[in-house]
Amino acid sequence: MPRQPVYEQVIADVIASVRSGALRPGQKLPSIAQLCEQYQASPTPIRFALRILDERGWIEVHQGKGSFVSPEPPA
């Protein structure tokens, strides 16, 4: 079975954390550097995952401040 791409892992993990309540609306996500370390990946797939999560309404990315769980994430 082929391994899931890193960006898909990040997306799935963030969504699961929001749904379970581990990440709450308004809560700051770890930095890109911390996520790189956590997933043993380069910044490129991490940024790609965050952009997709932002586009889908799960998080809000604020330049220079970080990424935060959306106040009203999708159900």
Give the count of domains, the chain.
Answer: 1
Residue 60 lies in a domain: yes
Domain containing 24 — which CATH number? 1.10.10.10
Residue 65 lies in a domain: yes
Coil, strand or helix: which one is 62?
Answer: strand
Residue 75 lies in a domain: no
Residue 55 structural domain? 6-69
Residue 11 lies in a domain: yes
| Pair 31, 68: CB distance under 8 Å | no
Question: Two tokens at 3?
Answer: 């391994």
Residue 64 lies in a domain: yes
Residue 53 lies in a domain: yes
Tens of pLDDT along the chain (75 residues)?
A: 678 999 999 999 999 999 999 999 999 999 999 999 999 999 999 999 999 999 999 999 999 999 999 999 997
Structure pTM?
Answer: 0.93
Question: Two tokens at 7?
Answer: 């960006």
